Amino acid sequence: MRIRRFHGLKYYYTKSFDSIINSNRKISYTEFIGLPEEIFYVEEGNIEELEIRTEVLLLNPSQKRVRDISIDFYIPSEDLHQKIRITKKSHGDLKIRKDSYGNLIASLKLDVIPPKKKEKVFVSQVANLNAVKINDIEWGFPEKTHDLQINYRGRLQNPRHEDIIAIANKIKSKDLYTTVTNCIKFIKANVKYERNAYRLGGRFALKHQKGACDEISDLCASILMALNIPIRTVLGYVIPENFHAWLEIFSSKKGWIPVDPTFGFMGFIGARWLKIFVEPKPNTKLLKIKCKGTIVPKLTFYLEDMKIN
């Protein structure tokens, strides 16, 4: 058992359930779904006062002025497992709004960036992150209809393909928890994790039996949407490793429940899972820019002194 540490948090993997239940420390844990043997992920403690900075560097590479610049970018928002406060903004007129998904969007308008010059825009935040586990498996039942819109979005997440519908019919159960568990077990048995340079969608993962976290999440979302289960994709970062995608599934009894089909976690999200934003639609960009002229942007996240991009 190798114990790792980050910012006051201890985390590790173990096969010994007895060591977990007999521990006198405050811990959070979950079992990996779909593995051939019993393995648990364990966290001790939480992450407190983590400094986060979201930075956008705007470079004007031309010999002409760039005018009427408007930028919008996502910054981490509060969630059931993370509390966020804003500590500093680069510009006094930088505005932050919340959308219908609970995302925080930073917006700024600039009149001009002179030739060969650059402008730095940033928002600094402090986060407190705790693991959350829903122990109750009474999630309710798959809904025939729901007042939240389920979006069908082409090749990345599309529940209308015959092969997706066939899988959905095989894994469905009378209750929501078992249906989602069956879906994750199917994916674990049929899709091997492999990183890709681009997001290729759920059917790519199914056809080639491989995919990164976003393809795996897209496949899981497609299958569950075929059963009319409301679902949304979350983009974030697993501290201190990689950008990551996971899902939230709507339960009439529990609200939005975190599910990570890549790891195989059900109703659990660790303190290391920093949520950046919920996708309004698949492949939503973190940064949007409008301007008169040419701008070369660079978006970077910092966790304390660690640069991630």
Looking at the fold, whether 229 and 158 belong to one and the same domain comes out as yes
Looking at the fold, whether 68 and 80 belong to one and the same domain comes out as yes
Compute φ and ψ for 277, nearest 5 degrees: -165, 160
As for how many domains the chain has, the answer is 3
Q: For 29, left (φ over 0), alpha (ψ -120 to 50), or beta?
A: beta
170: three-class secondary structure by DSSP: helix
Indicate the residue type of 301. F
Looking at the fold, whether 184 and 226 belong to one and the same domain comes out as yes
Whether 243 and 288 have beta carbons less than 8 Å apart is answered as: no
User: In terms of residue numbers, what domain contains 230?
Assistant: 138-260
Q: For every one of its 309 residues, what pLDDT tens digit does the chain have, with 9 covering 90 and above? A: 688 999 989 999 998 877 665 665 678 889 899 888 889 999 999 999 999 999 999 999 999 999 999 999 999 999 989 999 999 999 999 999 999 999 999 999 999 999 999 999 999 999 999 999 998 888 988 665 444 444 455 679 989 889 999 999 999 999 999 999 999 999 999 999 999 889 999 999 999 999 999 999 999 999 999 999 999 999 999 999 899 999 999 998 899 999 999 999 999 999 999 999 999 999 999 999 999 999 999 999 999 989 987
The pLDDT assigned to 25 comes to 64
How many Å apart are CA 259 and CA 180, to the nearest integer?
A: 9
Looking at the fold, whether 178 and 247 belong to one and the same domain comes out as yes
Identify the bridge partners of residue 300 per DSSP, sorted by sequence position: 55
- 278 assigned to some structural domain: no
The pLDDT assigned to 283 comes to 92
Looking at the fold, whether 239 and 201 belong to one and the same domain comes out as yes
Q: To which residue do tokens 């109703």 refer?
A: 267
- 269 assigned to some structural domain: no
Looking at the fold, whether 54 and 15 belong to one and the same domain comes out as no
The pLDDT assigned to 288 comes to 97
Looking at the fold, whether 246 and 228 belong to one and the same domain comes out as yes
Looking at the fold, whether 175 and 236 belong to one and the same domain comes out as yes
Indicate the residue type of 276. I
- 273 assigned to some structural domain: no
Looking at the fold, whether 234 and 151 belong to one and the same domain comes out as yes
- 111 assigned to some structural domain: yes
- 274 assigned to some structural domain: no
How many Å apart are CA 42 and CA 298, to the nearest integer?
A: 35
- 102 assigned to some structural domain: yes
The pLDDT assigned to 64 comes to 96
Q: Can you list the alpha helix ranges (DSSP code H) found in 160-309?
A: 162-171, 176-190, 202-208, 213-225
Q: For 280, left (φ over 0), alpha (ψ -120 to 50), or beta?
A: alpha
How many Å apart are CA 107 and CA 109, to the nearest integer?
A: 7
Looking at the fold, whether 121 and 143 belong to one and the same domain comes out as no
Looking at the fold, whether 293 and 255 belong to one and the same domain comes out as no
Joined together, the tokens standing for residue 200 give: 């290729």
Whether 166 and 186 have beta carbons less than 8 Å apart is answered as: no
Contacts of 281 (CB under 8 A, 6+ apart): 151, 153
- 133 assigned to some structural domain: no
The pLDDT assigned to 269 comes to 96
pTM of the model: 0.92
- 297 assigned to some structural domain: yes
